[in-house]
Structure 1
């Protein structure tokens, strides 16, 4: 039988009410549940919560956090349809984004790697010095190379 977090919290609360120390509680849980027992940090946390008169064993709901976060890009074909149906059933708005391809972002595929290679190995003392070096190397690229970049 697998115990939930709430089950372990109830056991920690039981040990707290019996007057055991945190170390005694940890020893009891470890001797009973072995590796499945709550960690020392969790036991200390819940002892401090119970000392503050906390009575609920469930996690507190935080409204500032999003309810569902899911990025289903790169899902396989059979999973993509199922995922899309699930998201529509949950009334989650789907927003697409363009594919990453050289035609949509030619700068990522031609000049940046070559300029990065030319700048590699140098130490710059300021941000402005790096920007100036970058501009110098970009301006050294012949127009014919730029035309090839945007033609293909």
Structure 2
């Protein structure tokens, strides 16, 4: 068994299938121009199955320095506000936590996500200027 095969790679490829279909449906023609995907070096992302999927559809991966949470929108833009929202709350069950988290996500304005994605350009430039070193705000 290859070290690069994980039980999560199949699930990640299914997520990519849904993403591809959503792009095709919501942004007709965009797939023709090519897709550049940013994901980190997590095992499901680097698994052989995932790499085969990306190669099959010609999706390019934006290089990502190892251990760079400063370049992952979920780390620098999403988890802090979510943590502040959930701070001080007590949950009886894991399902209660999941429900509250989903409610928070459902009520976010599209601009919240736009700001996070748009800040990537300046973060990448800082990373380049620092020769791959960690980028603070």
Higher relative contact order (CA 8 A, sep 6+): 2
With structure 1 as the length reference, what TM-score do the two structures score? 0.34
Relative to its length, the structure with more helix (as a share) is 2
